[in-house]
Structure 1
Amino acid sequence: MNDKQEKGAMQVDVQLVRDLAALLDDTNLTEIEVEDGDRKIRVARKAGAVAPAYVAAPAPVAAAPAA
């Protein structure tokens, strides 16, 4: 075992992560998770900022005529 590996550490399959990221792009998904035995990989993209919804201000009320 070398310095970069710890006992029980998962070896990341970089090509699998790249393939999952490409699948996200192709399918417009925001996240995907695969599980294979005791290995689980989740790839997610940041959701885009939601545009704020603007509400129109109420119309001004006319002043009551002086009596």
Structure 2
Amino acid sequence: MSEKKDQKEHGAEAAWIRELAGILEETGLTEIEIEKDNTRLRVSRQGGVAAFAAPPPVAAPSAPAASSAPAASAPAPTASHPGAVKSPMVGTAYLSPSPGADPFVREGAQVTEGQTLMIVEAMKTMNPIASPRSGKVTKIIVSDAQPVEFDEPLLIIE
């Protein structure tokens, strides 16, 4: 019976790897790492795939997951805005190239397609977020050094 359980778990892991690889393709990321049920999985285009069990952290998170639910359960109307530029990854958004530097863009600024709007740091890699189109930045939704989720609206370009 334990062999069938092992085969089922390996099948689930393979499906998980395929799903993460699909996310890499969709988003253009070079690697992604996720932890679930004390298993950490990293998928990378450059370095292959590595999966390993990780012991739980010494200090467990003190805040329950429900504490962040009120903020997440009230999606801003900007999420469905046709001009919303969304995060292609989970990470930390930075509005300027370095601390104390001027931001890449400000509300009201005209931007051109391909112009860097901000940076999302993921796994110690700085990923520039390029403007998908030309237009005017009407709203910057995130603040500097704010954690962001995949597909979370970052700003609005009209």
Q: What is the TM-score when the length of structure 2 is the normalising length? A: 0.23
Q: Which structure has greater strand proportion?
A: 2
Q: What is the TM-score when the length of structure 1 is the normalising length? A: 0.50
When Rg is computed on C-alpha atoms for both structures, the one with the higher figure is 1
